[in-house]
Structure 1
Amino acid sequence: MKLFLFELGRFIYPDAPKPIPVPGYLIQTKNGKNILVDTGFPEQYITNPPLSEGVTVAVNQEDFIVNRLAEIGLKPTDIDLVVLSHLDYDHAGNLLPFGHAEVIIQRLQYETAKVGHPRFLSTKDQWNDDSIKFRLIDGDQEIGAGIKLIESSGHVPGHQSIVLKLPETGPVLLTVDAVLNSSMTDGDNRPLDVSAVDDAQARISTKKLMKIAKEENVQLIIIGHDSEQWEKLEKAPSYSR
């Protein structure tokens, strides 16, 4: 099994010392299946980024998920499965290129979006398209040998993180937005997550993930949007195995 890391854009805050990375991931299984985790900002943000006070969204041409996949020799049709951590615009902006693949999402997140939660309207053209083949799951679920999805609500209802067991690196935890940066790994003492729908639930999920990390002897925790850690990680075309 291999794990590729992609940078799919970045947030730039005037009071932050460094840009905040937006990661995506590709898991290649032992039997050659390609599992994409999240799809990044909508393609149109390359030339027409959203205007939001206090933050700049920066997406280059190479950050578009289709172009990142091309860097490792893959086309959208090579993707067998898409795992969506959640439907925020930096994670679910490009589902339509993968309309042939099954998309796994927590039922709670999907139903929260379907009833009209305003947070997910910016990606509605992607997740509400009839061509998307969703598999709705409830709670923690193994989706393949050594790959388990972990329900980790709080940032949004029905957020999910991923634990995978690489043959050489060992177990790896992708927290995605359940843990945004390294200051938030302590569920009891983490700072307020102003982007969380339910910060109290986010703290519970943080404790759940850190407990799993300890029990599973996780060797690498890749945190959702941590600038300092991201600089030190090898990105595609390099990979961990």
Structure 2
Amino acid sequence: MAVERVYLLPAGHCLVDQSVLNETLVRGKLVNLPIWSYLIETTEGPMLIDTGMPEAYAVDTLGDEPKDGDIVPWMTHDDAIVQVLARAGYAPDDLLCVISSHWHFDHAGGNSKFPNTPIYVQRAEYDAAMVSDDYPAECRVAGLDYRLIEGDYQLAPGVDLIFTPGHSAGHQSILLHTRLSGPILLTVDAAYTRENFEDGVPFAGVDPLQIAASIAHLKEVVQAVRPRVFFGHDVEQGNTWPVYPKPL
């Protein structure tokens, strides 16, 4: 197997208080963040990273931006993962697997749409989510084909899962070696933004010490591999990097 290319799949938005991205900022200003899934096309078939927000959060038409709440989903039914995937020409059963970075509502809300697909998740994330109501029910659905892994793991040639806990108990980032574009590191939520990653700006998570250690681990990967780096919810990157149908 070889990785041909990877695509950014837009999957709606989430309005969050600016203090979620930067804990040194005063609460009270909402920031509109992009939500992503990532499509990996390999020589043996497609893989998907993350399944976006639950379709139950969707509305038919977006109105004015909500003003209340620290974290507010903002999506239409077209932003639900089955529709997102269909725009790229695939149905859930076409996938070789789903890679689940972590089980927060904006990353695992569509997991139930993949009942026949292996879902690779860190055991630490699975164990934490299955006993905690802090994770939405849509993100911890029992009985799916979960493949539990522990630590750094090579899923396939060119697809390396990197254990990066801290934002959540069992978060993982993904390093891809693509034939078309070379190496690409998806931090996902191990670093929301470039400032979190490069400048140590603190952001939301369950364990600040683990966050710092995970970023240090990713910086070692960057030093060794020299990939392009895409951050999980960086507004500037979201406005400038190509999205489907253009590959990264």
Calculate the TM-score normalised by the size of structure 1: 0.89
For the residues of structure 1 that align with 2:71 and 2:147, how far apart are their CA atoms? 33
State yes or no: 1:190 paired with 2:197: no
Partner of residue 207, structure 1: 216
Figure out how many residues of one structure are paired with residues of the other and give that number.
230
Partner of residue 103, structure 2: 87
Q: Is the 8 A contact 2:39 2:46 kept in 1?
A: yes
Partner of residue 144, structure 1: 156
Describe the superposition over 1:164-193 as per-residue Cα deviations: whole angstroms up to 9, x where unpaired. Answer: 10113111000000011111113xx51221
For the residues of structure 1 that align with 2:88 and 2:141, how far apart are their CA atoms? 29
Q: 1:4 aligns with which of 3, 7, 12?
A: 7
Moved more, 161-170 or 39-48: 39-48
For the residues of structure 1 that align with 2:46 and 2:156, how far apart are their CA atoms? 12
| Residue identity matched to 1:209 | L
State yes or no: 1:30 paired with 2:43: yes
**Residue 7 to residue 216, structure 1, CA distance change in 2 (3 Å):** same
Q: Is the 8 A contact 2:103 2:139 kept in 1?
A: no
Moved more, 168-177 or 49-58: 49-58
The secondary structure found in structure 2 opposite 1:200 is helix
Question: Structure 2: any 5+ residue segments left out of the alignment?
Answer: 17-27
For the residues of structure 2 that align with 1:117 and 1:233, how far apart are their CA atoms? 35
| Residue identity matched to 1:6 | L
Q: 1:233 aligns with which of 214, 219, 241?
A: 241
The secondary structure found in structure 1 opposite 2:243 is coil
Partner of residue 127, structure 1: 140
5 Å matches for 1:164-179? 164-179=176-191
Q: Is the 8 A contact 1:71 1:237 kept in 2?
A: no
The secondary structure found in structure 1 opposite 2:37 is strand
| Residue identity matched to 2:231 | I
| Residue identity matched to 1:139 | G
Question: Structure 1: any 5+ residue segments left out of the alignment?
Answer: none
For the residues of structure 2 that align with 1:52 and 1:99, how far apart are their CA atoms? 35
Q: How far apart are residue 88 of structure 1 and its match?
A: 0.3
Partner of residue 74, structure 2: 58
The root-mean-square deviation of aligned C-alpha atoms, in Å, is 2.0
**Residue 3 to residue 138, structure 1, CA distance change in 2 (3 Å):** same
Describe the superposition over 1:40-84 as per-residue Cα deviations: whole angstroms up to 9, x where unpaired. Answer: 000011139999623432112221111111112111111120000
The secondary structure found in structure 2 opposite 1:135 is strand
State yes or no: 1:155 paired with 2:171: no
The secondary structure found in structure 2 opposite 1:211 is helix
**Residue 27 to residue 173, structure 1, CA distance change in 2 (3 Å):** same
Partner of residue 73, structure 1: 89
For the residues of structure 1 that align with 2:223 and 2:182, how far apart are their CA atoms? 13
Q: Is the 8 A contact 2:54 2:138 kept in 1?
A: no
Describe the superposition over 1:79-109 as per-residue Cα deviations: whole angstroms up to 9, x where unpaired. Answer: 1200000010000101111110000000111
For the residues of structure 2 that align with 1:54 and 1:127, how far apart are their CA atoms? 22
For the residues of structure 1 that align with 2:100 and 2:11, how far apart are their CA atoms? 15
Task: Give % identity.
Answer: 30
The secondary structure found in structure 2 opposite 1:40 is coil
Q: How far apart are residue 117 of structure 1 and its match?
A: 2.3
Partner of residue 23, structure 2: none
Moved more, 72-81 or 172-181: 72-81
Q: Is the 8 A contact 2:112 2:141 kept in 1?
A: no
